[in-house]
Amino acid sequence: MVNPWVSFCISTYKRPVFLKSQLNLLLQQTDPNFEIVISDNDPEASGKAVVEQLNDQRLKYYRNDDNLGMIRSFNKSIERASTEYIVMVTDDDPVDTNMLHEFKTVINNYPGYSIYCGCVRTGKSENEIECFSATDFSFQLLHPKLTLNFLWSSCVLKKQTVLNIGGMPDYGSPHLADHAMLALCSKEQGGLFINKMFSHLNKHDSNFSKSNFNLYYIAGTRFIALMTKAFPEEFYIKNGENAIAKHLKKWFITNIFILKKYFTITNPNPEKAKEVDQLAHNLLKLSLIKKFKTLYTFKLIVFNIKKCLKKVGILKWSN
């Protein structure tokens, strides 16, 4: 390994099987000049044996003395990174093995941005590159009709910029905190989009998103407060469209109906399904979300019709 130019920053907690699979994949990057900073939130160091077994000098393992919680542990991995750039990754979401090679080329050709974001952009050709100033990037990122999909593990960030904004926002919930961090990174030097996803979510029953429903409500309230305080209105409202509100609409509708389907169809649990309904009721009280009550009601009617059709065998609704 020559001097690494980028660090994969990982937080893990008592998931050695996931961690081993993720590290094995990351070590296959076609650009070998990177390090992987592992922040183990397990005081008993359940991830240490995995790292020792792989025996690769690019692996930098740190055990936290206490369980810091997901966000503080991720922020520790950022602080411990030794490189100019970082990539935030969970211990279970795979990334493209050519990711670093492609991003390094882009960064060399378009230097000076604080965020380089691999995503799905509306109406753009594959690998098309777009550059935006600090006043425009957050609107472009958060507006769901402009950016259809993005993940922090598909982005390269300037470490110093991340430190300057205080790392991943710790407002009491991990939900939307990654989205907030990416948007906040653009405040210093703007950002660049490349129309390609370099990572995807690994969906499984132990996903954090299928528990701790109160954290969704906390995220809804505090994401709004954080973003509207951090950005002047002209950053997120353009031509009468509020990108923060539209982002929340997609987040609310998508997550509520993913949870409803999971606890109704995939893994039926009536008590959990009731909790999801109550979560939706509570979120619909929030200022930027309550305006979507009509849309939610329509989606709920469609959901219930599909549920009935599946029950009588007319509809094959995949799990």
Look over the chain and give the mean of its residue pLDDT values, rounded to a whole number.
93
**Residue range 46-72: average pLDDT?**
92
**Rounded Cα–Cα distance for residues 183 and 8 (Å):** 19
Instruction: Compute the distance between CA of residue 53 and CA of residue 46 in angstroms, rounded to an integer.
Output: 12
Q: Is the pLDDT of residue 61 over 60?
A: yes
Report residue 105 as tokens.
Answer: 């080329």
Helical pair 134-142 and 177-189, crossing angle rounded to 10 deg: 160
Q: Span 6-195: which CATH code?
A: 3.90.550.10
β 115-121/147-158 pair status: antiparallel
Q: Is the pLDDT of residue 202 over 80?
A: no
DSSP secondary structure, the chain, as one string: --S--EEEEEEE-S-HHHHHHHHHHHTT-SS--EEEEEEE--TT-TTHHHHHHH--TTEEEEE-SS---HHHHHHHHHHH--SSEEEEE-SS--B-TTHHHHHHHHHHHSTT-SEEEEEEETT--TT-EEEE-HHHHHHHHH-TTTEEEEEEEEEEEEHHHHHHTTSS--SS--TTHHHHHHHHHHHHH-EEEEE---B-----TT-GGGS-THHHHHHHHHHHHHHHHHS-HHHHEETTEEHHHHHHHHHHHHHHHHHHHIIIIIS--HHHHHHHHHHHHHHTTSTTTGGGHHHHHHHHHHHHHHHHHHHTTS-----
The token pair at 101 is: 């090679």
Decide if 12 contacts 47 (C-beta within 8 A): yes
What is residue 65's predicted lDDT score, i.e. its pLDDT? 86
pLDDT at 204 over 60: no
- Beta bridge partner(s), residue 61: 38
Nearest to 138, CA basis, from 66, 191, 89: 191
pLDDT on residue 1 = 55
**pLDDT tier, 207 (very low <50, low <70, confident <90, very high otherwise):** low
pTM for the complete prediction? 0.93
How do residues 223-265 score in pLDDT, each as one tens digit?
A: 999 999 999 999 999 999 999 999 999 999 999 999 999 999 9
The per-residue pLDDT for range 145-197, each reduced to its tens digit, is: 999 999 999 999 999 999 999 999 999 999 999 999 999 999 989 999 999 99
The pLDDT tens digits of the residues spanning 87-146 come to 999 988 899 999 999 999 999 999 999 999 999 999 999 999 999 999 999 999 999 999
Q: From CA 153, how far away is CA 53, in angstroms rounded?
A: 25
pLDDT at 242: 96
CA distances from 137 to 142, 219, 256, 297 (A): 9, 22, 27, 32
The partner residues of 115 in beta bridges, in order of sequence, read 157, 191
Cα end-to-end distance, the chain, whole Å: 44
Cβ-Cβ contacts under 8 Å for 188 (sequence gap 6 or more): 114, 134, 158, 161, 164
Cβ atoms within 10 Å of 55's Cβ, excluding its own: 7
Higher pLDDT, 202 or 255: 255
Residue-level pLDDT at 67: 86
Q: Domain map of the chain by residue range? A: 6-195, 208-311
- Burial of residue 100 (CB within 10 Å: 0-12, 13-18, 19+) is buried
Distances from the Cα of 203 to the Cαs of 74, 155, 208, 219, 231, in angstroms? 20, 20, 10, 21, 32
Residues 271-312: tens digit of each pLDDT:
999 999 999 999 999 988 999 999 999 999 999 999 999 888
